[in-house]
Amino acid sequence: MSTEQLHLAGIDIEVVHKSIKNLHIGVYPPDGRVRVAAPPSMSSDAVRVAILTKLPWIEKRRRDFLQQPRENTRAYVSGETHWHLGRPLRLRVETVARGRPGIQVEGNDALRMRLRPDASFEDRERMVFKWYRDELRNRGRNALERWANALDVPQPEFGIKRMRTKWGSCNPDTGRVWLNLSLAKKPLQSIEYVALHEMAHFISRRHDDAFIAVLDRLMPSWRKVRSELNSSLLDAW
C-alpha cells in the first residue's frame, strides 16, 4: 500500500493505492477531509481525472459538513445538552459529600451527574467519557455477538476508541472489531448497522456483491440507516 497527496481545485486529497478493484472517493466529517482509495494499477493521471469528474459531488459534500451545526464547547455544567442513543438529554449536576459519584439517565430527557464538591473539569470529562464508553460497550458487544451468530463466524475481540474518519473498523486476520466512541450518542439502529457492517467483513473484506448481500439479507433498511448516520457529526465532542 502506498500513499500520495494531491492538491486539486484548492482541496488537499489523500490518495491511497491498495489492493481493491475499483476507485473509491470518500469525504469525511467533521471538516470534509477527502480520501481516495485506488487500485495499484491505476495511474496518478487516471486518479486525477476520476477526482475531477466527481469534483461537484466532493465540493457539495464538503459544504454540507462545514455547514453542520457544531456542539458547543463542553464545560459539564447544569443546563448543557448531551446526546445519548439519539436523544438529547439536559444535564443536571449535583455535588455530593457522601455517596458514590456517577451518571445516570433520568426519565426521557435528563442526565444526572453526581460529583464531589472539589471535582475538576478533568474529573467531569473523564466521568462523561467513561459513562459513554460503558454504554456503548454493553450495546456494541450485544450487537456484535448477535451478528456473529447470524453469520456463523467466531465472536470478535471488541474495543472502543475515538476515531475521526470511521464509525468502525475490523481486522478479520486478528478477529478484532473497533467501534467509534461517538456511536454512544447515536440511535441504537446506528450501532446495529455499524456492528453488522464490520461483521460482514468477516464474510468479505471488500464492499463487493457478497458484502452487500449480507447487509441486504440481515438489515434491509441499512442504506437508510447509513445515510442518516453519515449525515450527522462523526466526532462531536
pLDDT band at 57 (very low <50, low <70, confident <90, very high): very high
Q: How far apart are the first and last CA of the chain?
A: 32
Give the pLDDT score at 69: 55
Residue showing cell 502506498: 2
Query: Which pLDDT tens digit goes with each residue over 202-233?
Result: 999 988 899 999 999 999 999 999 988 877 65
Query: Average pLDDT, stretch 7-19?
Result: 89
CA 196 to CA 147: how far, in whole Å?
Answer: 6
| pLDDT above 70 (res 72) | no
Where in the chain are all domains bearing CATH 3.30.2010.10? Answer: 120-230
pLDDT band at 61 (very low <50, low <70, confident <90, very high): confident
| pLDDT above 70 (res 137) | yes
Nearest to 169 by CA among 139, 133, 144: 144
If one looks up domain 120-230 in CATH, what number appears? Answer: 3.30.2010.10
What's the CA angle centered on 181, arms 224 and 119, to 5 degrees? Answer: 140
pLDDT band at 30 (very low <50, low <70, confident <90, very high): low
- CB-based contact 89:83 (threshold 8 Å): yes
pLDDT band at 68 (very low <50, low <70, confident <90, very high): low
